[in-house]
Amino acid sequence: MSGSNNHIADNTEPYDKEALAAAAQRLQSGKLVAVPTETVYGLAADASNADAIADIYRTKGRPDFNPLIVHVSNLAAARKLGEFNALATRLAEQFWPGPLTIIVPKTPVCPAAPAVTAGLDTIALRCPAHPLMQKLLQLSGLFLAAPSANKSGGISPTIASHVSSSLGNDAPMILDGGPCHSGVESTIVAVRGDDYQILRPGPITREELETALGKPAIISASDKIESPGQMLSHYAPAKPVRLNVTKATAQEYHIGFGAIEGDHNLSKSGDLAEAASKLFAALHLADSSASTGIAVAPIPETGIGAAINDRLKRAAS
């Protein structure tokens, strides 16, 4: 399953047994490893090692007030870090392993280094479905903090070569598992007692959450920025981005969808899941093309379309 991309960095390793063992060892000794998940590539480190966590923030150039997601191999492991009430348990049982991050109160004995949660009394937890990330969790025996493996504010990586092009000389060992299946980051749900709030739309849709929990998500009136990564300008390509464009100018790289062909079409058949999986690669392509701007065709707001439009709005602001 080594990647099909043709310019991968020297420190990119194919997904095999030796590479996995070497990666687990590096993590145990406090080093970073870039690893694919079903959403995007993550920049992983031992969540309990303060120096390793500091290295994540340094490598990404990430502000230290923006907390990290901790990846676990199952719900039992997650319970060591976070308090799962009935609603949180239901979410985990229904959607894990998978692209859902659940924010719950930290346990009194939570082993995560304080910088992981950036001083909050809550923690973001996710049990990923990707077999490579799962094997790494099991082999290392660690809880793995992992933000997306790009420089802070940049476009998330969905293939191994995006990691090396974003992190450059700061890139650690990269495990190449090929392209990520979902292509947009996990849905983030904050548990608020018996209620829940969607902090970041993602592959698990609002409709799926509402069906599973039997009630709508709360929309907070005071929507303060509790999830700092949710600040507006994010995923920013270097070029200006225009949205809902049916006809681009000659200077623009046009990302198409459905019948709007464009220079590069996210899904000719209008399939939103396919479009999500291709979104960040298209933004990377558009950004490195000769065009002076990027135009994007309209994307329906239904299902995972909400996550696509969320990322596009951030890219355009």
Binding site for ligand TXA (CB under 6 A): 37, 39-40, 42, 66-69, 101, 103, 117, 120, 122-124, 126, 146-148, 185-186, 188, 199, 226-230
Q: How far is the CB of 197 from ligand TXA (least distance, A)?
A: 10
- For residue 143, give both structure tokens: 């809880």
Q: What residue spans of the chain are helical by DSSP H?
A: 17-28, 50-60, 75-81, 86-95, 131-140, 160-167, 206-213, 272-288, 305-316
Report the chain's C-alpha Rg in angstroms.
19
Q: Which is nearer to ligand TXA, 167 or 260 (CB)?
A: 167
Q: Which does 123 bind (CB under 5 to 8 A by kind): Mg ion, ligand TXA, none?
A: ligand TXA
For residue 248, the minimal CB distance to ligand TXA (Å) is 29
Whole-angstrom Cα distance, residue 96 to residue 171? Answer: 29
For Cα atoms 201, 102, 77, give the angle at the middle one, nearest 5 degrees. 145
> Residue for token digits 């069906």?
211
Stretch that binds Mg ion, among 15-23, 143-151, 158-166, 209-217 (CB under 5 A): 143-151
- Measured distance CA(2)–CA(292) in Å, rounded: 34
Q: Which does 205 bind (CB under 5 to 8 A by kind): ligand TXA, Mg ion, none?
A: none
Taking CB under 5 A as the binding criterion, the range among 20-28, 74-82, 148-156, 212-220 that sits at the site for Mg ion is 148-156
Q: Is 277 in the site for Mg ion (CB under 5 A)?
A: no
The answer to whether 308 and 271 have CB atoms below 8 angstroms apart is: no
Residues linked to residue 36 through DSSP beta bridges, in sequence order: 41
148 binds Mg ion (CB under 5 A): yes
Q: Which is nearer to ligand TXA, 198 or 260 (CB)?
A: 198
Minimum CB distance to ligand TXA smaller for 297 or for 307: 307
Looking at the DSSP assignment, which residues form a beta bridge with residue 41? 36
In whole angstroms, the minimum distance from the beta carbon of 259 to ligand TXA comes to: 30
